[in-house]
Amino acid sequence: MRTRREHLHFLARTIGVPPDEVTRESLVEWCSEQDWAPETRRGRYNTFRVFWRWASEQSLLDDVADCLPMIKQGKGVADPAPEEVYVSALANADERTRFILRLGADYGLRRAEIAVVRVPDDLIRDLIGWTLVVHGKGGKVRLVPLEDDMAYLLLDLPEGYMLPGEVDGHLSVSYVGRLASRALPGRWTLHKLRHRFATKGFAETRDLYGIQQLLGHASSDTTTSYILHGMDQLRSITRATSSSKRIETENLTH
């Protein structure tokens, strides 16, 4: 909802006319002037279509967004934050930000999921170890195993939200993202730490389904777009399929 509002606010600030004066032609012209990546354009068009469809159903506006073309969802490219970037950020962050960084990089949580972690309510102890109850998109709940040191750090915090704030008692989702971005250099973000989690987890285990479950993805296609295959992994494939060994063996037999 917050994202959709931001899309509409940007349109309202920049198109230059009130909603009842926006026409199909002016909307298409304004959209063509925006320097958006395909995935950004896809999200904005979806927002505009839903808004004007609703306004038309309420007899408030004519539906002028029905002319916007459908944009096929593209496949993302994995871009995991490098290990040295993550380690340096951890070393220089305050305690609150370290929790955010670790939950993103070591456990694959989204910023919205990190914002609503409650202690001790969301921590479960069983015979194997500690587990974090993660409140994900669409009200879906998943379980993410925690290392003991992380669990005990969380349990040392005061009861309630891990990140207390003024949005229903916790920090806003956007502020959680900003805290992570301040700790990370350049273009690296909390989302890139999720890519790190997926890439490193797959390199160690080759368990795509498990990583999908831990990330809270509905589709394994989404999970694969988070995983960057290293050159050592690709080299092992070409080494296994190469004919050079066969040729070398044949030469030895002659």
Alpha carbon distance 207, 198 (integer Å): 10
Domain-by-domain residue ranges, the chain? 2-67, 83-224
* CATH topology classification for 83-224: hpI Integrase; Chain A (1.10.443)
pLDDT tens-place string over residues 123-162: 999 999 999 999 998 899 999 999 999 999 999 999 999 9
β-sheet bridge partners, residue 146? 130
- The per-residue pLDDT for range 83-130, each reduced to its tens digit, is 999 999 999 999 999 999 999 999 999 999 999 999 999 999 999 999
Structure tokens given for 221? 């296609």
pLDDT in tens, 198-234: 999 999 999 999 999 999 999 998 999 999 987 777 7
Tens digit of each residue's pLDDT (9 = 90 or more) over 42-88? 999 999 999 999 999 999 999 999 999 988 876 678 999 999 999 99
DSSP string for 170-220: E--HHHHHHHHHHHS-TT--HHHHHHHHHHHHHHHH--HHHHHHHHT-S-H
The pLDDT value given to residue 123: 98
pLDDT of 217 reads 94
Band (pLDDT 50/70/90 cuts) for residue 244 is low
Give the E-state strand segments of the chain in sequence order. 118-119, 123-125, 130-135, 141-146, 160-161, 164-167, 170
